[in-house]
Amino acid sequence: MTNLFWLPSDQYVTQHVRIWLAQPIEKGIFSKASLLASLLRRGTERYPSQRQIVEALESLWGAEMHTQISRVGGSQLTTISLQLPDGRYLPQAGSELLTEGIALLTELITQPHRMNGLFPQDSFDQEKERLQAAIENRKNQRSTFAQQRLQELVYGDSALASPRSGRLEEISALQNKDVVDFYEQTLRNSEVIVGLCGNHVEDFTVEKAQELLSWPRQPLVRQPLAAWSHRQEVSETKEVLPGEQSQLLLAFSSEIAYEDPLNLPLSVFNGIYGAFAHSRLFRTVREEHGLAYATGSRLDRATGVITAYAGLEASSAALAKEKMLEELHRLQQGDFSEEELHMTQQTLCEQLRGMNQEAEGRLDFRINQILMKHGDADDMMNQIQAIKREQVVEAAQRVHLHTTYFLADREDQ
């Protein structure tokens, strides 16, 4: 059974199609999924080369196709997207353009080009090398590299420790047959969700979806993630990587799961603490004390983990950490104004409104809604606006320092 939803709108000049293959996360899954997603773009039985895939997209009046790997809660998603021109502006394209586009995506998923059961070895080698090079290049993106190292330190031996694009050592060890086996596992074990956004997308019916996207499968049950637990002792790690700027990251656990009534109050706390330009970290660590070039915080609502970060001179790291923790303690004592609370609630609501204005954002929100089982945007905005100071303080008091990571730009710091 294919889960199909429509987001009709006549305000866009294109139609957007997404097919998600959702399966439970497991160790090593992101490395295999990243390589598989690259290989699926390379060709199908009918169009066995990249050139022929490009020509097929051009025949769909310049359609654009992309693949992506992501995580939503406890689900690993392989996403294949297509953007097509709206038939209102191309009457000569015919009434079946959307169906033809979805049929091409289905071919990419169910009939990838293989030789003797394996992906073409030259394609496999090229995509593997390209992915390895991209992972090696992370070291040149210091903030991204530091964030991924912190993720490994926080989540340890779990599947959550892996970056979305995979790990170098895992990808280096993958053989063609490993990825073929994973491809067949993905077809067999994934829930298939199709999202359509644009004008007259409802013309693509459930019956058409069942006809195109029917293959034997038995999706595995995806379990919600448990909130990440506190540590008895804070883990502290320092590494050196020569570069222009040092990175200081603090990970906080809250033990607040997604379904916990305090989860949205935790989002409001994070907004007051560091998520926005009006937040405490930006105003104090950067503006008032001049300790960082950039600073802020992010919340993973699925695990209840907050990451505070600062890009800075290594000599400022100790004081910056002190100020970051000082602001946390102030908020835990309820030391924030009604104006800060109201501004944060308004900003969170504006984010939701903005996300639900563009086609891509609406599709992102809807897949999160399906997988995480939350309400629509209006429901969430009403819940956010109803959050009281006491709830924010209660959520803040659940936040404890879990892991610190310092990426220094030279040895003597």
Tell me: the pLDDT tens digits for 173-197?
999 999 999 999 999 999 999 999 9
Please identify, among 212, 246, 271, the residue that sits at the C-terminal boundary of a domain.
212
Number of domains the chain is built from: 2
Same domain, 114 and 25: yes
Cβ atoms of 269 and 392 closer than 8 Å: yes
pLDDT band for 410, please (50, 70, 90 cuts): confident
Nearest to 223 by CA among 373, 369, 6, 7: 373
Cβ atoms of 279 and 292 closer than 8 Å: no
* Cα separation values, 243 from 149, 247, 249, 262, 400, Å: 16, 10, 17, 40, 31
What is the mean pLDDT of the segment spanning 252-264? 98
pLDDT of the residue at 93: 75
Same domain, 248 and 369: yes
Same domain, 343 and 281: yes
Looking at per-residue confidence, does 87 or 397 come out higher?
397
Tell me: the pLDDT tens digits for 41-72?
999 999 999 999 999 999 999 999 999 999 99
Please identify, among 180, 212, 244, the residue that sits at the C-terminal boundary of a domain.
212
Nearest to 397 by CA among 345, 329, 306: 329
Domain presence at residue 223: no
Same domain, 14 and 86: yes
Same domain, 168 and 256: no
Distance of CA 404 to the CA centre of its chain: 23
pLDDT band for 223, please (50, 70, 90 cuts): confident
Helix residue ranges per DSSP H, 190-316: 206-212, 263-270, 280
Q: What is the torsion angle, in degrees rounded to the nearest 10, for the CA atoms of residue 261, residue 267, residue 269 and residue 275?
A: 170
- CA–CA distance, 222 with 190 (Å, rounded to integer): 10
For residue 118, the tally of other CB atoms under 10 A from its CB is: 13
Same domain, 252 and 144: no
Residue in the structure block whose two tokens are 């994070």: 270
Domain presence at residue 217: no
Same domain, 260 and 310: yes
Domain presence at residue 247: yes
Mean of per-residue pLDDT scores for the chain? 96
Domain presence at residue 66: yes
What CATH number did the domain enclosing 53 receive? 3.30.830.10
Domain hosting residue 241, numbered range:
235-408
For residue 173, what are its two tokens?
A: 């060890």
What is the C-alpha end-to-end distance of the chain, expressed in Å? 57
pLDDT of the residue at 92: 79
pLDDT of the residue at 139: 86
Residues forming a β-bridge with 82: 17, 65
Integer-rounded Cα radius of gyration of the chain: 23
Model pTM?
Answer: 0.95
Same domain, 126 and 240: no
Same domain, 290 and 199: no
Domain presence at residue 225: no
Cβ atoms of 176 and 119 closer than 8 Å: yes
Same domain, 199 and 63: yes
What is the mean pLDDT of the segment spanning 32-39? 98
Tell me: the pLDDT tens digits for 77-102?
999 999 999 877 787 777 789 999 99
Same domain, 207 and 245: no
pLDDT of the residue at 194: 98
CA atoms lying within 13 Å on the CB side of residue 198: 22
Same domain, 155 and 104: yes
The yes-or-no verdict on residue 398 having pLDDT over 90 is yes
Tell me: the pLDDT tens digits for 259-274?
999 999 999 999 999 9
Q: Which of 8-22, 59-73, 87-101, 326-340 comes out lowest in average pLDDT?
A: 87-101
pLDDT band for 224, please (50, 70, 90 cuts): confident
pLDDT band for 413, please (50, 70, 90 cuts): low
Domain presence at residue 41: yes
What is the percentage of the chain residues whose pLDDT exceeds 90?
Answer: 94
Tell me: the pLDDT tens digits for 198-216?
999 999 999 999 999 999 9
pLDDT of the residue at 90: 80
Domain presence at residue 92: yes
Please identify, among 181, 212, 243, the residue that sits at the C-terminal boundary of a domain.
212
Largest CA distance in the chain: 67
Amino acid identity of residue 401, one-letter, is L
What is the mean pLDDT of the segment spanning 327-332? 98
